[in-house]
Structure 1
Amino acid sequence: MEKKKTIVVCAYHNVGYRCLEELLRQDADVAMVFTHDDSPSEEIWFASVRELAERHGIPVMTSDINLKENIELLKELAPDLLLSFYYRNMIREEVLEIPRLGALNLHGSYLPKYRGRVPVNWAVINGERETGATLHYMVAKPDAGDIVDQEKVAIEFTDTAFDVFNKVTEAAVKVLGRSYQPLIEDRAPRIPMDLAAGSYFGGRKPADGRIDWQKSAVEIYNLIRGVTHPYPGAFTSLNGKKILIWSARPTEGQGEPGRIVSSTPLLVGTGSGLLQIERLQEEESDELDATSFAGQTDLTGSSFGAN
């Protein structure tokens, strides 16, 4: 009987959890899992890869896979495949060369579009109508290796980044599910990636959620739904206080950018159109619906974002 192929997995977040689940469902021989310790400064709303691996008796490492001692460990394990699912560290070329059948990554976009960090958030912020999940070979350049398989998902105009992330997670599991056997049998396709047809985006910081009221109502709406819960949120200021806007929608009309033109409903002027705010929060206070907020705050003649 042929010896089972040995897999090393680098994984984190829901995509990592669900893809590790899929490997276990397919009876993969997962020899080790590299994951991350949760950050105390981050809202942990996703499932634990570490706990899943431990439940199945799989050794877990939370130190960086690129450390010298971990590279030596990998050489001893001599895995056939290395699979990465939302692992946050760039994996060095020296590591990528170890697995006999290659090292692959599951990326949360329809590559080559949205290479780089937080691709789901960027796709929503930029008003895209679709994105996807892509399984590709890893090379030194990020998200640039040959494609094995990919699956598109639709982005509805009312979807938040969280909604889209859940769709992408399901697409990722589907892609891995149909690619695993071809990979371990060394017959998976390799489709060269046309980087010129795509785009690269860097990571986002909470500070990048600041609203520019000169932009259109649709653009601001896309930012809000792209960083709303469980992400840090889009924000502005009012009377010298930081205000987080969690839910809004664009509507017809016009007003000076940032100027509150109505308190019930709460309508704000933008560079093009009006934004109707539905849920918001003064920093250090509770999140409120717009009616409740307007009832306890004097909005007469006020503007968001004014100094």
Structure 2
Amino acid sequence: MITADRKVIVCAAGLKGANFVRGLVNHEIRLDRIYAYKQPDDHSDSFFSIKQLAETMQIEFRESRKPEFSSSDLIFIIGWQYMFATITPFSVVFHDSLLPKYRGFAPTVTALLKGDTQIGVTALTPTPGVDEGPIIGQLAVQIAYPIKIKTALDLQSDLMISLATQIHRQWSEGFFTTCEQEHARATYSLWRNDADYLIDWSKTASEIVRAIDALGYPYSGARTTANGETLIIESASEVDDLNFEIRQPGKIWTLDGGRPLVVCGSGLLRLEDCRTLNGARYDFRRTRIKLGESQLK
């Protein structure tokens, strides 16, 4: 059973980390210490949310990328982007995919881009290899499209919290049950950079909608250019296609109530909400524009 010198420590970063900490508190799991750090590309201000929650609940909080703990502590690691100097018997990493599928970076984005109808989370023991450790537990959920990335991440956060309560119960009894991954079935998800947010208008309309939804908040947003200005596309919807004799993806066909209809590799998209980089709404006033023709700023 749990003794007084064994602690529950959370190492959390990003929106998933903030949701995770909030969920554990709501499930009345006593947290002894929380580690967090600021991420420059985090648009959700999760660091401050985690810090404020810790202060409200009187949980010890440390801003650090180098957590400290003992071998008997239960360590929950969520959204963390740095290696640990020491791995303990009760260190648990949460990965937002059903391993061994999508080892690596931004697996939920990859799953939505591919149109997966099932997403999930895995709790695993950390090892030097990328997401190769033994599995402690997994949970999955079915999804339907269209779906925004934040909705998917919220669903996964709920799964992680459910999994964490199960693992906390095992830890209180002094053991973890694990199983090795089927390494031969592993697939991988590459890291993403600014260029990966640029919309490729040669893709199908449905693929582009999935990309717009998958790259939105808390990520930076799918983007294109119009007359040399960078735009973030917040939302779009498919409309009935037309039989163009010569198809030229990225060209605006017409305006529908001020919203442009854009030719895709196949299909037509209506851009429902476009923003400038400073967040101002962008309204199209003419049709003779080819999106994505110039370089991103």
More helix by share: 1
Number of aligned residue pairs: give it. 286
1:86 corresponds to which residue? 79
Moved more, 211-220 or 157-166: 211-220
1:100-115 aligned at under 5 Å gives the runs 101-115=89-103
Q: Distance in 1 between matches of 2:58 and 2:155?
A: 29
TM-score for both structures, normalised by structure 2: 0.85
CA deviation profile, 1:76-104 (whole Å, cap 9, x unmatched) = x4443322122222324xx11xx3x3311
SS at match of 1:275: strand
Determine which of 223, 233, 238 is the counterpart of 1:245.
233
The alpha-carbon deviation at position 114 of structure 1 amounts to 1.9
Structure 1: unaligned runs, 5 residues or longer: none
- Tell me the CA shift for residue 111 of structure 1: 1.6
Following TM superposition, by how much is the alpha carbon of 1:16 offset from its aligned partner in structure 2, in angstroms?
Answer: 2.6
Separation (CA, whole Å) in 1 of partners of 2:18 and 2:135: 22
Confirm or deny: 8 A CA contact 1:12 1:48 kept in the other structure. Answer: no
C-alpha root-mean-square deviation of aligned residues, in Å? 2.5
| Paired residues for 1:1-307 under 5 Å | 3-4=3-4, 5-21=6-22, 23-24=24-25, 30-37=31-38, 39=40, 42-46=42-46, 48-65=49-66, 73-74=68-69, 77-92=70-85, 95-96=86-87, 99=88, 101-254=89-242, 255-264=247-256, 266-284=260-278, 286-288=280-282, 293-294=283-284, 297-299=285-287, 301-307=288-294
Preserved CA contact (<8 Å) 1:6 1:28: no
Distance 2:27 2:289 in 1: 59
Q: Distance in 2 between matches of 1:285 and 1:86?
A: 26
The change in CA–CA distance for 1:23 and 1:232 in structure 2 (over 3 A counts) is closer
Distance change in 2, residues 1:222/1:179 (3 Å):
same
Shift of 1:115: 1.8
Check whether the contact 2:35–2:63 (CA below 8 A) recurs between aligned residues.
Answer: yes
Measure, in 2, the Cα distance between the counterparts of 1:271 and 1:35.
43
Residues in 2 aligned to 1:16 and 1:283: alpha-carbon distance in whole angstroms: 26
Cα distance in structure 1, aligned partners of 2:31 and 2:152: 29
Shift of 1:172: 0.9
CA positional deviation for 1:28: 5.3
Cα deviation, 1:140-186, whole Å, max 9, x if unaligned, reads: 11221111111112222111101111111111111112221113323
* Separation of aligned partners in 1, 2:22 and 2:274: 37
Q: Residue 251 and residue 198 in structure 1: after superposition, are their counterparts in 2 closer, same or farther (change >3 A)? A: farther
Distance 2:174 2:188 in 1: 30
TM-score, normalised relative to structure 1: 0.83
Instruction: Kindly provide the amino acid, as one letter, of the partner of residue 197 in structure 1.
Output: R
Give the whole-Å Cα distance in 2 for the aligned partners of 1:235 and 1:28.
41
CA-CA distance at 1:205 after TM superposition? 2.6
Unaligned 5+ segments in structure 2 are: none
Identity across matched positions, percent: 24
Alpha-carbon offset, residue 139 of structure 1: 0.9
- What secondary structure, in the 3-state scheme, does the structure 2 residue paired with 1:48 have? helix
Q: Distance in 2 between matches of 1:157 and 1:181?
A: 35
**For the residues of structure 2 that align with 1:240 and 1:179, how far apart are their CA atoms?**
52
